[in-house]
Amino acid sequence: MTISHDDAARIEAAIRAAQARSSGQIVFVLARASANYEIMPFVWSAVLALLAPWPLLDLTEISAERIYLVQLAVFIVALLVLTLPRLRLLLTPTRIRRTNAHRAALEQFALRGLAHNHERNGVLLYVSLAERFARVIADDAAAKAIPQKEWQVLIDRLLAEMKSGQTAEALIGAAARCGDLLAQSFPPRDGAARPSLHRFHVI
């Protein structure tokens, strides 16, 4: 799933409009995947190659050299098949996928400069398409002012709307809801300087 240039501009505009209603900072990151999961195809290919000799030993009388060649062929073919992106993801346990996505969200929070806001009211919405994962990372002041259950309602609605394939519209709606939540505790301040950050990133 990709975001067009026009949709990206609309999302950026929606985030800026939402942020204008409060003194908090809002940044969205949309990731195609949170990790490559390259190790799992090697693990499963090795397991299949190790299992391959057993039926040959029981049912045939072929030589050890031929069995070795069969093992090698099984490993290579399995690796070629299992390295397909969708299969790599399916082979990875859900717990590992969620851990990778959460770690990527924390990394993006630091990378996008939100931690530099002295008011500590910045918010990052991180969405990873491959893992079907979304998470709000709120800085200290925003986390204290807005209960986690409020952010979870936003996340649940975002993911539900994205299931229909309307990613851009779902993110635009999430931007408005972020603005609503921040405006309650962090109203805009006249004359306050804002850093010139990009608000929407596709990685």
Comparison of pLDDT for 170 and 61, the residue scoring more: 170
Please calculate the CA angle 64-70-76 and round it to the nearest 5 degrees: 140
Do 99 and 117 lie in one domain? The reply is yes
Q: Are 182 and 121 in contact (CB under 8 A)?
A: yes
Query: The domain that contains 196 carries what CATH number?
Result: 3.10.310.50
Q: Which residues contact 73 (CB under 8 A, 6 or more apart)?
A: none
Q: Which domain holds residue 198?
A: 5-35+93-202
Structure tokens belonging to residue 72: 């090698």
The whole-angstrom separation of Cα 186 and Cα 192 is 12
Confidence band, pLDDT 50/70/90 cuts, at residue 188? confident
The whole-angstrom separation of Cα 31 and Cα 123 is 17
Tens of pLDDT, residue by residue over 96-112, are 999 999 999 999 999 98
The whole-angstrom separation of Cα 44 and Cα 154 is 37
The whole-angstrom separation of Cα 200 and Cα 130 is 18
Q: Is residue 195's pLDDT more than 90? A: no
Q: What pLDDT shows up at residue 128?
A: 96
Average pLDDT over residues 75-94: 92
Instruction: Give percent of the chain with pLDDT exceeding 70.
Output: 96
Chosen domain end from 56, 91, 126: 91
Do 52 and 106 lie in one domain? The reply is no
Do 26 and 80 lie in one domain? The reply is no
pTM: 0.82
